Structure 1
Amino acid sequence: MSVAFEEVRLRLPHIELSAHLYGPEEGQPVIALHGWLDNSMSFSRLAPHLQGVRIVALDQAGHGHSGHRPPGADYSIWDYTHDVLQVAEQFGWKRFTLLGHSMGAIVSTLLAGALPERVERLALIDGLIPFTGEPETAPQKLGEALEARLALPRKRKPIYRRVEDAVAARMKGVGAVTREAAELLAQRGLMPVPGGYTWRTDPRLMLPSAMRLTQAHAWAFVDRLKCPVSLVLAEQGMLVRQPEFMRQVESRPMTLHRLAGGHHLHLDDEQGAQAVADCFNPFLRGA
Protein backbone atom coordinates (compact mmCIF):
# COMPACT_ATOMS: atom_id res chain seq x y z
CA MET A 1 0.00 0.00 0.00
CA SER A 2 1.27 3.50 -0.80
CA VAL A 3 0.01 7.00 -0.22
CA ALA A 4 0.90 10.45 -1.42
CA PHE A 5 3.18 12.44 0.84
CA GLU A 6 4.77 15.85 0.75
CA GLU A 7 8.53 16.26 0.97
CA VAL A 8 9.70 19.20 3.07
CA ARG A 9 12.95 20.61 4.40
CA LEU A 10 12.90 22.13 7.86
CA ARG A 11 15.47 24.83 8.56
CA LEU A 12 15.98 24.66 12.30
CA PRO A 13 18.27 27.10 14.14
CA HIS A 14 21.07 24.50 14.36
CA ILE A 15 20.49 22.05 11.47
CA GLU A 16 18.37 21.41 8.38
CA LEU A 17 16.21 18.30 8.46
CA SER A 18 14.16 16.59 5.77
CA ALA A 19 10.77 15.00 6.32
CA HIS A 20 7.76 13.39 4.69
CA LEU A 21 4.33 14.74 5.57
CA TYR A 22 1.36 12.37 5.59
CA GLY A 23 -2.32 12.91 6.26
CA PRO A 24 -4.65 15.93 6.45
CA GLU A 25 -3.29 19.22 7.77
CA GLU A 26 -6.05 19.30 10.38
CA GLY A 27 -5.14 15.81 11.62
CA GLN A 28 -3.77 15.06 15.08
CA PRO A 29 -0.11 16.20 15.22
CA VAL A 30 2.32 13.27 15.13
CA ILE A 31 6.11 13.32 14.79
CA ALA A 32 7.47 9.97 13.58
CA LEU A 33 11.05 8.98 14.42
CA HIS A 34 12.83 6.10 12.69
CA GLY A 35 15.54 3.81 14.02
CA TRP A 36 19.33 3.96 13.87
CA LEU A 37 20.72 3.98 10.30
CA ASP A 38 17.17 4.01 8.84
CA ASN A 39 15.30 6.99 7.39
CA SER A 40 11.79 8.36 6.98
CA MET A 41 10.87 5.54 4.58
CA SER A 42 10.64 3.42 7.71
CA PHE A 43 7.04 4.66 7.99
CA SER A 44 6.11 4.37 4.30
CA ARG A 45 4.04 1.20 4.87
CA LEU A 46 2.56 2.16 8.25
CA ALA A 47 1.58 5.79 7.59
CA PRO A 48 -1.16 4.97 5.03
CA HIS A 49 -2.90 2.78 7.62
CA LEU A 50 -3.04 5.43 10.36
CA GLN A 51 -6.22 7.48 10.47
CA GLY A 52 -6.93 11.10 11.34
CA VAL A 53 -3.32 12.09 11.90
CA ARG A 54 -0.87 14.61 10.41
CA ILE A 55 2.46 12.78 10.43
CA VAL A 56 5.83 14.48 10.14
CA ALA A 57 8.15 11.54 9.42
CA LEU A 58 11.65 12.91 9.94
CA ASP A 59 14.96 11.90 8.52
CA GLN A 60 16.76 12.26 11.82
CA ALA A 61 20.05 14.18 11.84
CA GLY A 62 22.78 12.32 9.97
CA HIS A 63 20.26 10.06 8.22
CA GLY A 64 18.52 10.12 4.84
CA HIS A 65 18.40 13.58 3.27
CA SER A 66 18.85 15.49 6.54
CA GLY A 67 21.93 17.47 7.43
CA HIS A 68 24.85 16.10 9.39
CA ARG A 69 25.98 17.48 12.72
CA PRO A 70 28.80 20.07 12.41
CA PRO A 71 32.46 19.03 12.71
CA GLY A 72 33.39 18.18 16.26
CA ALA A 73 29.82 17.32 17.27
CA ASP A 74 28.51 13.84 17.90
CA TYR A 75 25.18 12.01 17.90
CA SER A 76 24.33 11.69 21.57
CA ILE A 77 20.84 10.28 21.98
CA TRP A 78 19.59 13.31 23.92
CA ASP A 79 20.60 15.70 21.14
CA TYR A 80 17.86 14.18 19.00
CA THR A 81 15.28 15.29 21.57
CA HIS A 82 16.29 18.90 20.92
CA ASP A 83 15.82 18.37 17.17
CA VAL A 84 12.31 17.01 17.72
CA LEU A 85 11.36 19.86 20.00
CA GLN A 86 12.55 22.38 17.41
CA VAL A 87 10.48 20.62 14.72
CA ALA A 88 7.39 20.89 16.93
CA GLU A 89 8.12 24.58 17.48
CA GLN A 90 8.39 25.15 13.73
CA PHE A 91 4.94 23.61 13.20
CA GLY A 92 3.52 25.54 16.15
CA TRP A 93 2.65 22.34 18.01
CA LYS A 94 2.63 22.87 21.77
CA ARG A 95 1.38 19.31 22.28
CA PHE A 96 1.94 16.41 19.92
CA THR A 97 2.12 12.63 19.73
CA LEU A 98 5.37 10.77 19.14
CA LEU A 99 5.50 7.65 16.95
CA GLY A 100 8.89 6.00 17.32
CA HIS A 101 10.65 2.84 16.16
CA SER A 102 13.76 1.49 17.92
CA MET A 103 16.11 4.48 18.41
CA GLY A 104 13.19 6.73 17.53
CA ALA A 105 11.17 5.13 20.33
CA ILE A 106 14.03 5.79 22.74
CA VAL A 107 14.24 9.44 21.70
CA SER A 108 10.47 9.67 22.16
CA THR A 109 10.64 8.28 25.70
CA LEU A 110 13.45 10.63 26.69
CA LEU A 111 11.62 13.70 25.39
CA ALA A 112 8.27 12.72 26.91
CA GLY A 113 9.93 12.03 30.25
CA ALA A 114 11.87 15.28 30.22
CA LEU A 115 8.96 17.48 29.08
CA PRO A 116 5.78 15.53 29.83
CA GLU A 117 3.59 18.59 29.29
CA ARG A 118 4.50 18.64 25.59
CA VAL A 119 3.68 15.04 24.61
CA GLU A 120 0.09 13.85 24.13
CA ARG A 121 0.74 10.16 23.50
CA LEU A 122 3.58 7.72 22.85
CA ALA A 123 3.16 5.05 20.15
CA LEU A 124 6.32 2.95 20.27
CA ILE A 125 7.58 0.06 18.14
CA ASP A 126 10.20 -2.32 19.58
CA GLY A 127 12.00 0.33 21.60
CA LEU A 128 11.69 2.19 24.89
CA ILE A 129 14.93 2.97 26.78
CA PRO A 130 18.53 3.41 25.57
CA PHE A 131 21.30 0.89 26.02
CA THR A 132 22.54 1.34 29.56
CA GLY A 133 25.85 1.07 31.38
CA GLU A 134 26.78 0.96 35.04
CA PRO A 135 29.27 3.39 36.65
CA GLU A 136 32.20 0.97 36.78
CA THR A 137 32.17 0.58 32.97
CA ALA A 138 32.17 4.33 32.24
CA PRO A 139 35.96 4.92 32.04
CA GLN A 140 36.48 2.02 29.65
CA LYS A 141 33.54 3.09 27.47
CA LEU A 142 34.85 6.64 27.22
CA GLY A 143 38.31 5.37 26.28
CA GLU A 144 36.87 3.17 23.54
CA ALA A 145 34.83 6.08 22.19
CA LEU A 146 37.83 8.41 22.12
CA GLU A 147 39.98 5.86 20.30
CA ALA A 148 37.20 5.26 17.76
CA ARG A 149 37.00 9.01 17.08
CA LEU A 150 40.74 9.18 16.44
CA ALA A 151 40.49 6.25 14.00
CA LEU A 152 37.45 7.53 12.10
CA PRO A 153 39.31 9.68 9.49
CA ARG A 154 41.15 6.56 8.30
CA LYS A 155 37.93 4.69 7.60
CA ARG A 156 35.94 4.79 4.38
CA LYS A 157 32.31 4.04 3.67
CA PRO A 158 31.63 0.87 1.71
CA ILE A 159 30.89 1.41 -1.98
CA TYR A 160 28.46 -0.96 -3.69
CA ARG A 161 28.71 -1.44 -7.44
CA ARG A 162 24.96 -1.91 -7.77
CA VAL A 163 21.93 -0.84 -5.76
CA GLU A 164 21.07 -4.52 -5.43
CA ASP A 165 24.36 -5.12 -3.59
CA ALA A 166 23.56 -2.38 -1.06
CA VAL A 167 20.07 -3.79 -0.58
CA ALA A 168 21.51 -7.25 0.10
CA ALA A 169 23.91 -5.79 2.67
CA ARG A 170 21.09 -3.91 4.43
CA MET A 171 19.01 -7.07 4.64
CA LYS A 172 21.75 -8.61 6.82
CA GLY A 173 22.52 -5.48 8.84
CA VAL A 174 21.59 -4.56 12.40
CA GLY A 175 17.89 -5.27 12.73
CA ALA A 176 17.71 -7.49 9.63
CA VAL A 177 14.90 -6.61 7.23
CA THR A 178 13.08 -8.14 4.29
CA ARG A 179 14.18 -7.38 0.75
CA GLU A 180 11.19 -5.08 0.20
CA ALA A 181 11.98 -3.16 3.39
CA ALA A 182 15.65 -2.85 2.44
CA GLU A 183 14.65 -1.55 -1.00
CA LEU A 184 12.43 1.10 0.57
CA LEU A 185 15.20 2.26 2.92
CA ALA A 186 17.69 2.25 0.04
CA GLN A 187 15.48 4.51 -2.08
CA ARG A 188 16.17 7.30 0.37
CA GLY A 189 19.39 6.13 1.99
CA LEU A 190 21.69 5.64 -1.00
CA MET A 191 23.57 8.19 -3.09
CA PRO A 192 25.69 7.75 -6.23
CA VAL A 193 29.46 8.05 -5.89
CA PRO A 194 32.35 7.18 -8.23
CA GLY A 195 32.31 3.41 -8.58
CA GLY A 196 28.74 2.86 -7.51
CA TYR A 197 26.61 3.77 -4.49
CA THR A 198 27.08 4.39 -0.80
CA TRP A 199 24.85 5.30 2.13
CA ARG A 200 24.10 8.94 2.91
CA THR A 201 24.39 8.35 6.65
CA ASP A 202 27.05 10.25 8.60
CA PRO A 203 29.94 7.86 9.44
CA ARG A 204 29.96 9.28 12.98
CA LEU A 205 26.71 7.41 13.59
CA MET A 206 28.83 4.26 13.82
CA LEU A 207 30.92 5.59 16.71
CA PRO A 208 30.33 4.03 20.14
CA SER A 209 28.64 6.14 22.80
CA ALA A 210 31.01 8.03 25.05
CA MET A 211 28.65 7.74 28.01
CA ARG A 212 25.55 5.70 28.77
CA LEU A 213 22.73 6.21 31.23
CA THR A 214 22.52 3.72 34.07
CA GLN A 215 19.46 1.49 34.44
CA ALA A 216 18.21 3.81 37.18
CA HIS A 217 18.61 6.85 34.90
CA ALA A 218 16.82 5.18 31.99
CA TRP A 219 13.82 3.90 33.93
CA ALA A 220 13.47 7.27 35.67
CA PHE A 221 12.44 8.73 32.29
CA VAL A 222 9.79 6.03 31.90
CA ASP A 223 8.50 6.65 35.41
CA ARG A 224 8.10 10.37 34.69
CA LEU A 225 5.84 9.80 31.68
CA LYS A 226 2.44 11.43 32.09
CA CYS A 227 0.90 10.47 28.75
CA PRO A 228 -0.66 7.18 27.63
CA VAL A 229 1.86 4.75 26.14
CA SER A 230 1.22 1.97 23.61
CA LEU A 231 4.25 -0.28 23.07
CA VAL A 232 4.36 -2.84 20.26
CA LEU A 233 6.94 -5.59 20.84
CA ALA A 234 8.03 -7.86 18.00
CA GLU A 235 8.11 -11.54 18.92
CA GLN A 236 11.27 -11.97 16.87
CA GLY A 237 12.60 -8.53 17.80
CA MET A 238 15.23 -7.25 20.19
CA LEU A 239 13.34 -6.83 23.46
CA VAL A 240 11.06 -9.75 24.29
CA ARG A 241 14.07 -12.01 24.85
CA GLN A 242 15.34 -9.77 27.67
CA PRO A 243 13.69 -11.05 30.87
CA GLU A 244 14.67 -8.08 33.05
CA PHE A 245 13.41 -5.60 30.46
CA MET A 246 10.11 -7.44 30.20
CA ARG A 247 9.75 -7.56 33.99
CA GLN A 248 10.31 -3.81 34.20
CA VAL A 249 7.89 -3.04 31.36
CA GLU A 250 5.13 -5.28 32.66
CA SER A 251 5.27 -3.56 36.05
CA ARG A 252 4.49 -0.15 34.53
CA PRO A 253 1.21 1.41 33.37
CA MET A 254 1.42 1.07 29.60
CA THR A 255 -0.43 -0.94 26.96
CA LEU A 256 1.68 -3.80 25.57
CA HIS A 257 1.12 -5.60 22.27
CA ARG A 258 3.21 -8.61 21.26
CA LEU A 259 3.00 -9.14 17.52
CA ALA A 260 4.51 -11.70 15.17
CA GLY A 261 7.44 -10.37 13.19
CA GLY A 262 10.94 -8.99 13.45
CA HIS A 263 12.36 -5.70 14.68
CA HIS A 264 11.06 -3.87 11.55
CA LEU A 265 7.66 -5.57 11.54
CA HIS A 266 5.95 -2.27 10.59
CA LEU A 267 8.06 -2.07 7.40
CA ASP A 268 8.84 -5.66 6.44
CA ASP A 269 5.44 -6.35 4.85
CA GLU A 270 1.89 -5.06 4.57
CA GLN A 271 0.59 -7.61 7.06
CA GLY A 272 2.92 -6.31 9.75
CA ALA A 273 2.11 -2.68 8.96
CA GLN A 274 -1.61 -3.39 9.24
CA ALA A 275 -1.15 -5.26 12.53
CA VAL A 276 0.75 -2.34 14.05
CA ALA A 277 -1.86 0.11 12.74
CA ASP A 278 -4.62 -1.98 14.29
CA CYS A 279 -2.93 -1.45 17.67
CA PHE A 280 -2.30 2.25 17.20
CA ASN A 281 -5.47 3.54 15.52
CA PRO A 282 -7.75 3.09 18.57
CA PHE A 283 -4.96 4.38 20.81
CA LEU A 284 -4.46 7.52 18.73
CA ARG A 285 -8.22 8.16 18.84
CA GLY A 286 -8.15 7.86 22.62
CA ALA A 287 -10.30 4.73 22.58
Structure 2
Amino acid sequence: MFQVEEIRIQLPHIDLAARVYGPENGKPVLALHGWLDNAMTFELLAPRLQGLRIVAMDMAGHGHSGRRGPGAGYQLWDYALDALMAAHQLGWQRFSLLGHSLGGIISVLIAGAVPERIERLALIDGLVPDTGEAAHSPKKLGEALLAQIALADKKKTVYSTIEQAVEARKRGLIAVSQQAAELLASRGLSPVAGGYSWNTDQRLTLPSPLRLTNAHALAFVNALECPVSLVLAEQGLLLNIPEFVYFLDHLGKPNIQVERMPGGHHLHVNDEQGAQAVADCFNGFFAG
Protein backbone atom coordinates (compact mmCIF):
# COMPACT_ATOMS: atom_id res chain seq x y z
CA MET A 1 0.00 0.00 0.00
CA PHE A 2 1.29 3.47 -0.90
CA GLN A 3 2.51 5.36 2.16
CA VAL A 4 1.32 8.90 2.93
CA GLU A 5 1.97 10.80 6.14
CA GLU A 6 1.88 14.32 7.55
CA ILE A 7 4.91 15.93 9.16
CA ARG A 8 5.96 19.35 10.40
CA ILE A 9 9.38 20.83 9.72
CA GLN A 10 10.41 23.33 12.37
CA LEU A 11 12.87 25.92 11.10
CA PRO A 12 14.36 28.63 13.33
CA HIS A 13 12.16 31.29 11.71
CA ILE A 14 9.02 29.38 10.65
CA ASP A 15 7.10 26.14 11.09
CA LEU A 16 6.32 24.32 7.83
CA ALA A 17 3.81 21.55 7.16
CA ALA A 18 4.45 18.81 4.63
CA ARG A 19 2.73 15.80 3.12
CA VAL A 20 5.08 12.86 2.60
CA TYR A 21 4.61 10.22 -0.09
CA GLY A 22 6.42 6.97 -0.76
CA PRO A 23 8.78 4.58 1.03
CA GLU A 24 11.35 5.76 3.54
CA ASN A 25 14.15 4.29 1.43
CA GLY A 26 12.99 6.08 -1.74
CA LYS A 27 15.13 8.65 -3.52
CA PRO A 28 14.69 11.99 -1.67
CA VAL A 29 12.62 14.57 -3.54
CA LEU A 30 11.45 17.93 -2.21
CA ALA A 31 8.24 19.05 -3.95
CA LEU A 32 7.29 22.72 -4.20
CA HIS A 33 3.80 23.82 -5.28
CA GLY A 34 2.57 26.85 -7.19
CA TRP A 35 1.44 30.30 -6.09
CA LEU A 36 -1.63 30.22 -3.77
CA ASP A 37 -1.74 26.40 -3.99
CA ASN A 38 -0.60 23.88 -1.39
CA ALA A 39 0.87 20.39 -1.02
CA MET A 40 -2.33 18.73 -2.27
CA THR A 41 -1.36 19.78 -5.79
CA PHE A 42 0.78 16.62 -5.85
CA GLU A 43 -1.95 14.30 -4.54
CA LEU A 44 -2.69 12.68 -7.91
CA LEU A 45 0.88 12.71 -9.20
CA ALA A 46 2.95 11.56 -6.22
CA PRO A 47 1.42 8.05 -5.88
CA ARG A 48 2.23 7.47 -9.55
CA LEU A 49 5.94 8.26 -9.13
CA GLN A 50 7.97 5.17 -8.38
CA GLY A 51 10.81 4.68 -5.91
CA LEU A 52 10.72 8.22 -4.53
CA ARG A 53 10.41 9.69 -1.05
CA ILE A 54 8.52 12.88 -1.84
CA VAL A 55 8.20 15.58 0.79
CA ALA A 56 5.60 18.02 -0.54
CA MET A 57 5.79 21.16 1.58
CA ASP A 58 3.15 23.77 2.12
CA MET A 59 5.39 26.72 1.39
CA ALA A 60 5.42 29.58 3.88
CA GLY A 61 2.11 31.44 3.91
CA HIS A 62 0.26 28.56 2.23
CA GLY A 63 -1.77 25.58 3.42
CA HIS A 64 -1.00 24.43 6.95
CA SER A 65 2.39 26.15 7.16
CA GLY A 66 3.15 29.22 9.23
CA ARG A 67 3.05 32.82 8.02
CA ARG A 68 6.05 35.06 7.99
CA GLY A 69 6.32 37.61 10.81
CA PRO A 70 5.40 41.30 10.55
CA GLY A 71 7.67 43.18 8.19
CA ALA A 72 8.80 40.04 6.37
CA GLY A 73 7.90 39.16 2.80
CA TYR A 74 7.63 36.31 0.34
CA GLN A 75 10.43 36.81 -2.13
CA LEU A 76 11.79 33.97 -4.27
CA TRP A 77 15.04 33.77 -2.33
CA ASP A 78 13.13 33.53 0.96
CA TYR A 79 11.43 30.37 -0.33
CA ALA A 80 14.76 29.05 -1.57
CA LEU A 81 16.23 29.40 1.93
CA ASP A 82 13.20 27.68 3.47
CA ALA A 83 13.62 24.74 1.09
CA LEU A 84 17.33 24.31 1.75
CA MET A 85 16.83 24.55 5.51
CA ALA A 86 14.00 22.00 5.30
CA ALA A 87 16.27 19.61 3.40
CA HIS A 88 18.88 20.06 6.12
CA GLN A 89 16.29 19.22 8.80
CA LEU A 90 15.37 16.09 6.84
CA GLY A 91 19.01 15.04 6.76
CA TRP A 92 19.28 15.34 2.98
CA GLN A 93 22.69 16.45 1.77
CA ARG A 94 21.83 15.74 -1.87
CA PHE A 95 18.29 15.51 -3.22
CA SER A 96 16.04 16.18 -6.20
CA LEU A 97 13.43 18.88 -6.69
CA LEU A 98 9.93 18.61 -8.13
CA GLY A 99 8.32 21.98 -8.77
CA HIS A 100 5.13 23.31 -10.30
CA SER A 101 4.86 26.92 -11.52
CA LEU A 102 6.25 29.11 -8.69
CA GLY A 103 7.70 25.96 -7.15
CA GLY A 104 9.50 25.24 -10.41
CA ILE A 105 10.95 28.75 -10.49
CA ILE A 106 12.24 28.40 -6.93
CA SER A 107 13.65 24.97 -7.79
CA VAL A 108 15.66 26.46 -10.66
CA LEU A 109 17.05 29.20 -8.40
CA ILE A 110 18.13 26.61 -5.84
CA ALA A 111 19.66 24.24 -8.38
CA GLY A 112 21.51 27.11 -10.07
CA ALA A 113 22.77 28.56 -6.79
CA VAL A 114 23.90 25.32 -5.12
CA PRO A 115 24.25 22.80 -7.97
CA GLU A 116 26.26 20.41 -5.82
CA ARG A 117 23.18 19.77 -3.66
CA ILE A 118 20.69 18.89 -6.42
CA GLU A 119 20.51 15.47 -8.09
CA ARG A 120 17.68 16.04 -10.58
CA LEU A 121 15.16 18.75 -11.41
CA ALA A 122 11.59 17.91 -12.50
CA LEU A 123 9.54 20.96 -13.51
CA ILE A 124 5.85 21.38 -14.41
CA ASP A 125 5.01 24.54 -16.37
CA GLY A 126 7.57 26.59 -14.46
CA LEU A 127 11.15 27.62 -15.21
CA VAL A 128 11.93 31.32 -14.73
CA PRO A 129 9.96 34.18 -13.11
CA ASP A 130 8.38 37.12 -14.85
CA THR A 131 11.34 39.36 -15.55
CA GLY A 132 11.76 43.13 -15.63
CA GLU A 133 14.52 45.33 -16.89
CA ALA A 134 16.33 47.88 -14.76
CA ALA A 135 14.61 50.90 -16.29
CA HIS A 136 11.25 49.76 -14.92
CA SER A 137 12.50 49.08 -11.39
CA PRO A 138 11.72 52.46 -9.73
CA LYS A 139 8.11 52.42 -10.91
CA LYS A 140 7.62 48.77 -9.92
CA LEU A 141 9.10 49.36 -6.47
CA GLY A 142 6.78 52.32 -5.93
CA GLU A 143 3.74 50.26 -6.89
CA ALA A 144 4.82 47.46 -4.55
CA LEU A 145 5.40 49.78 -1.59
CA LEU A 146 2.02 51.49 -1.98
CA ALA A 147 0.25 48.14 -2.39
CA GLN A 148 1.81 46.90 0.84
CA ILE A 149 0.52 49.94 2.72
CA ALA A 150 -2.96 49.56 1.20
CA LEU A 151 -3.15 45.88 2.18
CA ALA A 152 -3.96 46.77 5.79
CA ASP A 153 -7.43 47.96 4.74
CA LYS A 154 -8.30 44.88 2.70
CA LYS A 155 -10.35 42.04 4.13
CA LYS A 156 -10.36 38.44 3.02
CA THR A 157 -13.39 37.10 1.17
CA VAL A 158 -15.60 34.87 3.32
CA TYR A 159 -17.62 32.13 1.60
CA SER A 160 -20.73 30.86 3.33
CA THR A 161 -20.07 27.30 2.18
CA ILE A 162 -17.10 25.19 1.11
CA GLU A 163 -18.82 24.66 -2.24
CA GLN A 164 -18.79 28.41 -2.91
CA ALA A 165 -15.07 28.60 -2.13
CA VAL A 166 -14.37 25.65 -4.41
CA GLU A 167 -16.35 27.30 -7.22
CA ALA A 168 -14.37 30.52 -6.77
CA ARG A 169 -11.10 28.57 -6.99
CA LYS A 170 -12.29 26.86 -10.17
CA ARG A 171 -12.87 30.24 -11.79
CA GLY A 172 -9.79 31.94 -10.34
CA LEU A 173 -7.02 33.80 -12.12
CA ILE A 174 -5.72 30.40 -13.20
CA ALA A 175 -8.74 28.16 -13.70
CA VAL A 176 -8.62 24.56 -12.47
CA SER A 177 -10.92 21.54 -12.65
CA GLN A 178 -13.53 20.64 -10.03
CA GLN A 179 -11.28 17.84 -8.77
CA ALA A 180 -8.25 20.10 -8.46
CA ALA A 181 -10.25 22.82 -6.69
CA GLU A 182 -11.62 20.31 -4.18
CA LEU A 183 -8.16 18.89 -3.46
CA LEU A 184 -6.66 22.35 -2.93
CA ALA A 185 -9.64 23.41 -0.80
CA SER A 186 -9.25 20.39 1.47
CA ARG A 187 -5.97 21.86 2.70
CA GLY A 188 -6.43 25.53 1.86
CA LEU A 189 -9.68 26.51 3.59
CA SER A 190 -10.20 27.46 7.22
CA PRO A 191 -13.48 28.04 9.09
CA VAL A 192 -14.01 31.68 10.06
CA ALA A 193 -16.90 33.75 11.36
CA GLY A 194 -19.63 33.53 8.74
CA GLY A 195 -18.22 30.62 6.79
CA TYR A 196 -14.87 29.74 5.23
CA SER A 197 -11.86 31.64 3.92
CA TRP A 198 -8.68 30.64 2.08
CA ASN A 199 -5.91 30.48 4.64
CA THR A 200 -3.15 31.86 2.42
CA ASP A 201 -1.36 34.95 3.70
CA GLN A 202 -2.76 38.08 2.00
CA ARG A 203 0.79 39.36 1.50
CA LEU A 204 1.19 36.68 -1.18
CA THR A 205 -0.96 38.81 -3.49
CA LEU A 206 1.40 41.80 -3.33
CA PRO A 207 3.41 42.70 -6.45
CA SER A 208 7.13 41.96 -6.41
CA PRO A 209 9.23 44.96 -5.35
CA LEU A 210 12.12 43.82 -7.55
CA ARG A 211 12.20 41.50 -10.56
CA LEU A 212 15.10 39.58 -12.00
CA THR A 213 16.24 40.79 -15.40
CA ASN A 214 16.35 38.50 -18.43
CA ALA A 215 20.10 38.23 -17.92
CA HIS A 216 19.60 37.13 -14.30
CA ALA A 217 17.06 34.48 -15.31
CA LEU A 218 19.28 33.10 -18.06
CA ALA A 219 22.27 33.01 -15.70
CA PHE A 220 20.39 30.76 -13.25
CA VAL A 221 19.29 28.40 -16.01
CA ASN A 222 22.80 28.29 -17.47
CA ALA A 223 24.15 27.44 -14.01
CA LEU A 224 22.09 24.23 -13.86
CA GLU A 225 24.38 21.21 -13.80
CA CYS A 226 21.91 18.40 -13.04
CA PRO A 227 19.57 16.68 -15.51
CA VAL A 228 16.34 18.67 -15.98
CA SER A 229 12.94 17.48 -17.20
CA LEU A 230 10.51 20.29 -18.05
CA VAL A 231 6.86 19.49 -18.79
CA LEU A 232 5.10 22.33 -20.61
CA ALA A 233 1.30 22.44 -20.73
CA GLU A 234 0.01 23.22 -24.24
CA GLN A 235 -2.87 25.22 -22.75
CA GLY A 236 -0.84 26.45 -19.78
CA LEU A 237 0.87 29.73 -19.03
CA LEU A 238 4.37 29.57 -20.43
CA LEU A 239 3.73 28.66 -24.05
CA ASN A 240 1.37 31.63 -24.31
CA ILE A 241 4.17 34.10 -23.47
CA PRO A 242 6.23 35.02 -26.57
CA GLU A 243 9.19 36.11 -24.43
CA PHE A 244 9.30 32.70 -22.76
CA VAL A 245 9.11 30.81 -26.04
CA TYR A 246 12.03 32.89 -27.32
CA PHE A 247 13.90 32.24 -24.07
CA LEU A 248 13.24 28.50 -24.39
CA ASP A 249 14.38 28.37 -28.01
CA HIS A 250 17.69 29.98 -27.11
CA LEU A 251 18.63 27.98 -24.03
CA GLY A 252 21.16 25.71 -25.70
CA LYS A 253 21.35 23.43 -22.64
CA PRO A 254 21.69 19.73 -23.54
CA ASN A 255 20.82 18.65 -19.98
CA ILE A 256 17.27 20.09 -20.24
CA GLN A 257 14.63 17.78 -21.70
CA VAL A 258 11.40 19.54 -22.72
CA GLU A 259 8.11 17.66 -23.12
CA ARG A 260 4.95 19.39 -24.32
CA MET A 261 1.67 17.86 -23.17
CA PRO A 262 -2.00 18.69 -23.72
CA GLY A 263 -3.65 20.27 -20.70
CA GLY A 264 -3.80 23.41 -18.63
CA HIS A 265 -1.34 24.92 -16.17
CA HIS A 266 -2.46 22.42 -13.48
CA LEU A 267 -2.46 19.39 -15.78
CA HIS A 268 -0.88 17.20 -13.08
CA VAL A 269 -3.83 17.70 -10.69
CA ASN A 270 -6.74 18.60 -12.98
CA ASP A 271 -7.48 14.96 -13.80
CA GLU A 272 -6.15 11.41 -13.58
CA GLN A 273 -5.08 11.36 -17.24
CA GLY A 274 -2.91 14.44 -16.88
CA ALA A 275 -1.34 13.13 -13.69
CA GLN A 276 -0.52 9.84 -15.38
CA ALA A 277 1.00 11.56 -18.42
CA VAL A 278 3.28 13.66 -16.23
CA ALA A 279 4.16 10.59 -14.14
CA ASP A 280 5.07 8.59 -17.25
CA CYS A 281 7.48 11.35 -18.21
CA PHE A 282 9.05 11.75 -14.77
CA ASN A 283 9.32 8.04 -13.91
CA GLY A 284 11.71 7.48 -16.79
CA PHE A 285 13.55 10.66 -15.89
CA PHE A 286 14.09 9.75 -12.23
CA ALA A 287 14.97 6.16 -13.11
CA GLY A 288 17.65 7.41 -15.47
User: Please, what TM-score do these two structures have when normalized by structure 1?
Assistant: 0.98
Return the match for 1:268 from 267, 270, 283.
270
Amino acid of the structure 1 residue aligned with 2:285: F
CA contact (8 A) 2:2 2:22 kept: no
**Identity, % of aligned positions:** 63
Counterparts of 1:189 and 1:101 in 2: how far apart (Å)?
17
Give 1:138's aligned residue: 137
Task: After TM superposition, give the deviation of residue 243 of structure 1 in Å.
Answer: 3.1
3-state SS, counterpart of residue 99 of structure 1: strand
Hey, what's the Cα distance between the residues in 2 that align with 1:177 and 1:203? 21
The runs of at least 4 consecutive aligned structure 1 residues that moved more than 6 Å come to: none
Indicate the RMSD between aligned Cα atoms, in angstroms: 1.0
Q: Over residues 123-171 of structure 1, what are the superposed CA-to-partner deviations in whole Å (9 max), with x where a residue is unaligned? A: 0000000111011110000000110111111000000001011001101
Is it true that 1:226 corresponds to 2:214 in the alignment? no
Can you list the C-alpha shifts for 1:15-71, whole angstroms capped at 9, x where unaligned? 100000100011000000000000000000000100000000000000000000010
- 1:241 is displaced (CA, Å) by 2.0
| CA offsets 1:185-213 (integer angstroms, 9 cap, x no match) | 00000000010000110000011100000
For 2:154, the equivalent position in structure 1 comes to 155
Partner of 2:253: 252
In structure 2, the partner of 1:46 is: 45
Question: Shift of the alpha carbon at 1:97?
Answer: 0.4
CA distance in 2, matches of 1:106, 1:188: 23
Partner of 1:82: 81
1:88-99 alignment runs, 5 A limit? 88-99=87-98
Q: Which residue identity is paired with 2:281?
A: C
Q: Structure 2 matches for 1:1-287, cutoff 5 A?
A: 3-250=2-249, 251-253=252-254, 254-286=256-288
TM-score (norm 2): 0.97
The CA deviation at 1:255 is 0.4
Secondary structure of 2:211 counterpart: coil
Deviation string for 1:174-232 (max 9, x for gaps)? 22100110000000000000100001100000111000000100110000000000000
> What secondary structure does 2:263 align onto?
strand
The 3-state SS of whatever aligns with 2:123 is: strand
Structure 1 residue 14: deviation in Å? 1.2
Aligned pair count? 285
